[in-house]
Structure 1
């Protein structure tokens, strides 16, 4: 019953702790002044500019989805995102060995990842995780802790509106799923639900396919005989949902020049993700993940400061 939650949570934590580990390489031996001087986004206005960029990019994606019936453009966008984000991951890993070698190797590995993902579609989740680490790493090193929280709060509001009001985030998610783009991680399963849970239309469709399912899918026959209906269950989490908590966790290093607060942020975000998954199982509808993730992050930050008193 909880396998999807376990898989999603595991991938989420791998991204968070991998990003923190990579950040520890970049931040090794730095001073508070060096961190401040390296931050690009130094004011809340920077967060608004990034939000505007995200909104514009979303609008472009939706426009392309409605007027363009192929998938080449989406593959190009995906390839660009994977290349840029994974480049920072590989360069962080290899750049300390030798700057020139690290630069060339990071470019080669990033290109190889794009090619491998397009050739082997099962690499989608792994590729999305690597890209999420790259995005979270770059943003985390660019923002102060307070500005990172402000940015995530603004993005949480945008996420809520995009899912429940304009619903364009659902359109973007469908684009990613239909084209198997590494812009989200997902776990697909078949779960059994009582027939009474189905809508009238779903029940009619099931009755049409029932005989065929019983004949061709013997393992499902017992499920149907118990009055249950086998249904595809797909749980997805966007790369932004993976990258935003990581961004806050990495930016938290500058508060006390260690990763203690970062760990509390990560554990709080994990709590928010678990809350999201349980709500998802209860109401069976698409949910914005960033608001509950932010809620969990704030709990983690609050616990950290309470213990520090």
Structure 2
């Protein structure tokens, strides 16, 4: 019985790099239809001010969400997330349909698909529904930002987000408060990987909350029935993979240039470090190893392309 449980836990751990790889690959594949549909977020992809604006908007939005949680306005928080998800799915579905039909028809059908996906997540947020639609959403969002920013601004963005994530988890710990609110509300902005047979996200949740230990440090309950990973941890390194594929072509496989392959492999290595750290039992900031791995991999791929692939 013990060996069976260990085997299921190993499968659960392996599922997370598979989902990260799916998001990164999907993001690159969506780059063409997203570009054709004009869904770039920033006008100047080379501007270093873009990451600054991104961080400012993120901080303002996070502060607003924390205020809603603090004053028990969780129904409003729930609706904000649903509306945001609906709008994001419109871009994803209409962008894909724009390759095979007119822009107006693609927007109409894409909006219907976005509504259906949002309602499904609302009415039946089972773990496999959350994971499938979450991977699709993460790929679409990563693709939109990947086609909007060249690698240098993306690297700056990922560095700033890594610092912010580390501070918000280990210092201010407000990210733990936000994560707890998301978990309690069954909000579909994460992927859920079951560790136990017969698990249901609707029925079981995650089987524990983030609680302080004797020293006052927060740590998750060890009896959790599932691993969780926020969509942001899947999206951010995927932005660099997509940006490298779009803006630094050459020397790779298909749409993936050597820098893009390097960023992809580096993010998977960073995820491995993160998963190892998770076994300490403490909440871990995901972006420092994920983004750091992606940046290091990109630089290695770029170096190889410049020095060994040049004519």
What TM-score bracket applies, with the shorter chain setting the length? Answer: 0.7 to 0.9
Q: Is 2:81 the counterpart of 1:88?
A: no
Bigger share in helix? 1
Residue 273 of structure 1 corresponds to 271
Give the whole-Å Cα distance in 1 for the aligned partners of 2:213 and 2:47: 52
Residue 41 and residue 306 in structure 1: after superposition, are their counterparts in 2 closer, same or farther (change >3 A)?
closer
Residue 174 of structure 2 corresponds to 168
Give the whole-Å Cα distance in 2 for the aligned partners of 1:22 and 1:152: 21
Q: Is 2:294 the counterpart of 1:294?
A: no
Instruction: Calculate the TM-score normalised by the size of structure 2.
Output: 0.79
- 1:162-241 matches, cutoff 5 A: 162-189=168-195, 231-241=223-233
Kept after mapping to 2: 8 A contact 1:88/1:106 = yes
User: What do residues 104-130 of structure 1 show as CA deviations (whole Å, max 9, x unaligned)?
Assistant: 111111111111111111122223222
RMSD: 2.7
Give the whole-Å Cα distance in 2 for the aligned partners of 1:61 and 1:41: 29
- 1:1-309 matches, cutoff 5 A: 1=6, 2-26=10-34, 39-68=43-72, 71-97=74-100, 98-122=102-126, 123-189=129-195, 231-252=223-244, 253-256=246-249, 258-260=255-257, 261-281=259-279, 283-308=280-305, 309=307
Tell me the matched-pair count: 268
Structure 2: where are the runs of 5+ without partners? 1-5, 198-211, 215-221
Kept after mapping to 1: 8 A contact 2:238/2:264 = yes
Structure 1: where are the runs of 5+ without partners? 29-33, 192-198, 202-229
Instruction: Calculate the TM-score normalised by the size of structure 1.
Output: 0.79
The alpha-carbon deviation at position 240 of structure 1 amounts to 1.1
Provide the secondary structure at the position in 1 that maps to 2:169. Answer: helix
